[in-house]
Amino acid sequence: MIGGNSPSEDTMTVLLLAGMPGAGKEELLKIASNEGYEILRMGDVVRETAEQREISAEDIGDFADKERKRHHEGIWADRTLARVKEDRTIIDGIRSQVEVSIFKSGLDRKARIIAIHASPKTRFQRLKDRGREDAPDDRAEFRERDNRELDWGLGRVIARADHMIVNEGDLSEFHDKCKEAISSKDIAVKHR
């Protein structure tokens, strides 16, 4: 069982973070880290496992998919769940209901989904503006990436979120919404 740093003895907060690319997940993670949350990224678990097996960075996506086929669809959730040590934890990278089920089962149903939503127009511009090498070159590539995420089941996870943050305003407004969401009593889960 998870121990420790919960706000009180009868509540805990493990949040499963979901959102389409460019919605604002990294900004929420910064706020949560500053508020004392442990951050676990499923993508980091994939990258670390790939490095241990000497898989090149270019082949990580194929490796992750092969592991899902070799083991089961929720293998990365299983491997991330084993790293949850703190009550105040946010797990980033949730993409399917299978993953949600693994976390809720492994945490004795003491996890909540928090989702961030922004329109495709807003997200496309953010991805272009941040200038990372994985930014889409054009709207067709952006739609293809969105479709891949939705094919994995991300839309269903977002639709079933316990808390939704709409991120269409300025950064300061969004930061305020993030602080409010992660400190909300509605987000904490009562021990049974």
User: What are the domain boundaries of the chain?
Assistant: 11-190
pTM: 0.84
CATH fourth-level superfamily of 11-190: P-loop containing nucleotide triphosphate hydrolases (3.40.50.300)
The answer to whether residues 128 and 136 touch, using CB atoms and an 8 Å cutoff, is yes
The answer to whether residues 100 and 161 touch, using CB atoms and an 8 Å cutoff, is no
Phi, psi of 76 (to 5 degrees): -75, -30
Q: How far apart are CA 76 and CA 58, in angstroms?
A: 18
CA distances from 73 to 23, 40, 48 (A): 24, 19, 19
Q: Are strands 189-190 and 11-12 parallel, antiparallel or unpaired?
A: antiparallel
Res 10 pLDDT > 50: no
Give me the residue label for tokens 């997200």: 123
Read off the pLDDT of residues 101-128 as tens digits, 9 standing for 90 and up: 999 999 877 889 999 999 999 999 999 8
Read off the pLDDT of residues 21-76 as tens digits, 9 standing for 90 and up: 999 999 999 999 999 999 999 999 999 999 999 988 778 878 888 998 899 989 99
User: Nearest-CA neighbor of 25 among 113, 140, 136, 138?
Assistant: 113
State the maximum Cα–Cα separation within the chain, in Å, rounded to a whole number: 50
